[in-house]
């Protein structure tokens, strides 16, 4: 089947990471541009593979090039609503190719080619042939397929623009429904090769974290491939309509996460937030000093108010982890009326990049539009707090109310070892910054400190030896 492909093609290579030291070139990603798009068309020339722009053998080691992956499909029973589902599998199928790494989705794709693959004679033409074969094998409904790989900058730029318009059309359709209108949600475990305990729960009000799959896409995928990575999830009894907790959703997540995650709140970053994969478009993160929530997406290049960039934050909560105070999300979810509703929705948002704010402006309540700062209004906690006070952001009243109603509790820890002499806490009353099932603190002198099911409230902890 893959006799003409100079490298191995197998599901065993899913999850392969190509580090900078082993990389020949990078395609698309944060330092360039790119997109992937699958469209149902008429008169598709089956087996047509085309590369427009420089091939790999015309590139130089360390180069970064734009990338467009255009896939046209045709079939008697293919419907347009299947495009998004089939397109999302591009991520999985590209990673079957040894020496080719594909991350993310839509116009956020990030690919790398290894030096070993180039030495074996691998070209982008071979990627196109591989995708052509694998898509027809995975989806028997596809009768004809043509794949075009774009690396010409001007053509990729035009392609990305057209792709974004198509994504917006798909997303708009999904806004017609709400969670209450349906009896079933959908689960997706497509990312478990990278995030073994991640189970994405897709509802009408909460699109997949990657932003590439909505409820309609999942319905079509589950009907087309009942044994595939996307499946029906009966909602079960409603436990909390604000947080978005359901009995059977919890049961399915527990089973599919190998018992690692037992409860999920679909619309909150606190207590039991939705797990995060690594393909998410953005991260919602708690800022304890402001008792508010910030949002950052992978396109933002600067540091967040927590003092770390998106990449570092993503590393903390990706891989299928459930970390209180952090959750991955799609930008489309920010357009949902249930967006983090258990936490206060946009009234709890105290910072986000201007690009995100502009893209969802019409979905921000009118009374909040000028009260949510961006990186242009402040980047430090002091600057952001000043902005919030000046604009009268509701979080300021919330902070004052919390401070007034919650008396300070003094915690005394007695000395239990000669090696340890002082434990101090400073600062105001804090909401929990993070939750950890088990956390081991570094120590010495034969003393080991283990926190289990810990919720940290202290602003500052100082541990000193005598």
pLDDT digits (tens, 9 = 90+) for 180-201: 999 999 999 988 878 899 999 9
Please report the pLDDT score of residue 414 as a whole number: 43
Pick from 356, 337, 361, 299: which is nearest to 174 by CA?
A: 337
- At 420, list the tokens: 């340890």
Q: What is the pLDDT of residues 345-356, one digit of tens each?
A: 999 999 999 999
Dig out the tokens for 175 from the structure: 């806004």
Please give the mean pLDDT across all residues of the chain: 86
Q: How does strand 435-441 pair with strand 449-455?
A: antiparallel
Rounded to whole angstroms, the Cα distance separating 266 from 286 reads 16
| Predicted local confidence at residue 424, as pLDDT | 40
Helices (H) and strands (E) in the chain, counts: 10, 21
Pairing state between β 144-150 and 67-74: antiparallel
The whole-angstrom separation of Cα 131 and Cα 127 is 6
Distance CA 221, CA 219 (A): 5
What pLDDT is attached to residue 79? Answer: 83
Complete domains list, the chain, with CATH: 11-174 (3.30.1650.10), 179-338 (3.40.970.20), 422-464 (no CATH)
What dihedral do alpha carbons 37, 214, 102, 122 form, nearest 10°? -40
Closest CA to 398 of 285, 271, 292: 292
HSE-CB at 137 with a 13 A cutoff on CA atoms is: 9
Q: How far is CA 357 from CA 294, 353, 370, in A?
A: 12, 6, 10
Query: How far apart are alpha carbons 294 and 305 in whole angstroms?
Result: 8
- Beta strands across the sheet bearing 34-40: 34-40, 67-74, 144-150, 48-52
| Locus of tokens 């690594």 | 278
**Nearby residues of 244 by Cβ (< 8 Å), 6 or more positions away:** 179, 203, 206, 265, 266, 267, 268, 338, 341, 342
Q: What percent of the chain has pLDDT over 90?
A: 63
Mean pLDDT by 10 residues, the chain (466 residues): 90 87 94 95 94 96 96 91 88 94 90 96 96 93 96 97 92 85 93 88 93 87 86 95 96 94 96 90 93 92 89 86 92 94 96 94 94 94 95 90 56 41 40 45 50 53 55
**Tokens 């000669």, located at residue:** 418
Can you give the pLDDT at residue 168? 87
The pLDDT score that the predictor gives to residue 413 is 41
Q: What is the 3-state secondary structure (H, E, C) of 333-373?
A: HHHCCCCCHHHCHHHHEEECCHHHHHHCHHHCCHHHCCCCC
Alpha helix segments (H runs only) across 225-280: 247-256
């Amino acid at each position: 089947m893959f006799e003409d492909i100079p490298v191995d093609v197998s599901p065993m290579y899913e999850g392969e990471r190509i580090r900078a030291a082993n990389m020949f070139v990078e395609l698309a990603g944060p330092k360039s541009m790119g997109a992937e798009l699958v469209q149902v068309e008429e008169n598709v020339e089956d087996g047509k593979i085309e590369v427009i722009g420089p091939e790999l053998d015309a590139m130089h080691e360390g180069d970064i090039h734009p990338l467009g992956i255009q896939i046209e499909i045709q079939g008697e029973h293919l419907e347009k609503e299947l495009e998004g589902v089939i397109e999302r599998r591009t991520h999985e199928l590209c990673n079957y190719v040894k020496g080719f790494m594909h991350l993310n989705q839509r116009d956020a794709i990030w690919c790398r080619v290894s030096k070993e693959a180039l030495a074996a004679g691998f070209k982008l033409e071979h990627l196109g042939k591989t995708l052509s074969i694998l898509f027809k094998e995975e989806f028997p409904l596809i009768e004809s397929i043509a794949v075009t790989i774009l690396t010409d900058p001007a053509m990729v730029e035009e392609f990305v623009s057209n792709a974004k318009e198509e994504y917006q059309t798909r997303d708009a359709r999904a806004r017609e429904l709400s969670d209450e209108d349906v009896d079933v949600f959908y689960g997706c475990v497509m990312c478990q090769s990278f995030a073994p305990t991640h189970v994405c729960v897709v509802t009408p009000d909460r699109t997949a974290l990657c932003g590439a799959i909505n409820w309609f896409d999942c319905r079509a995928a589950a009907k087309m491939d009942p044994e595939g990575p996307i499946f029906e999830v009966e909602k079960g009894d409603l436990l909390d309509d604000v947080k978005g907790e359901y009995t059977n959703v919890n049961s399915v997540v527990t089973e599919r996460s190998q018992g690692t995650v037992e409860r999920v709140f679909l619309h909150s970053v606190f207590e039991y937030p939705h797990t995060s994969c690594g393909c998410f478009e953005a991260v919602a993160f708690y800022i304890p000093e402001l008792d508010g929530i910030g949002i950052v997406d992978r396109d933002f290049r600067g540091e967040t108010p927590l003092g770390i960039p998106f990449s570092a934050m993503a590393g903390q909560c990706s891989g299928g982890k459930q970390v209180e105070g952090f959750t991955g999300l799609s930008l489309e979810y920010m357009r949902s009326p249930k967006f983090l509703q258990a936490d206060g929705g946009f009234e709890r948002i105290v910072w986000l990049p201007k690009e995100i704010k502009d893209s969802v402006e019409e979905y921000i309540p009118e009374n909040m539009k000028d009260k949510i700062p961006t990186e242009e209004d402040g980047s430090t906690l002091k600057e952001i707090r000043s902005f919030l006070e000046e604009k009268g952001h509701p979080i300021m009243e919330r902070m004052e109310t919390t401070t007034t109603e919650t008396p300070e509790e003094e915690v005394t820890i007695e000395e239990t070892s000669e090696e340890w002499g002082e434990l101090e806490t400073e600062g105001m009353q804090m909401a929990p910054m993070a939750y950890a099932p088990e956390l081991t603190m570094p120590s010495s002198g034969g003393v080991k400190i283990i926190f289990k099911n810990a919720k940290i409230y202290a602003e500052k902890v100082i541990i000193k030896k005598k």
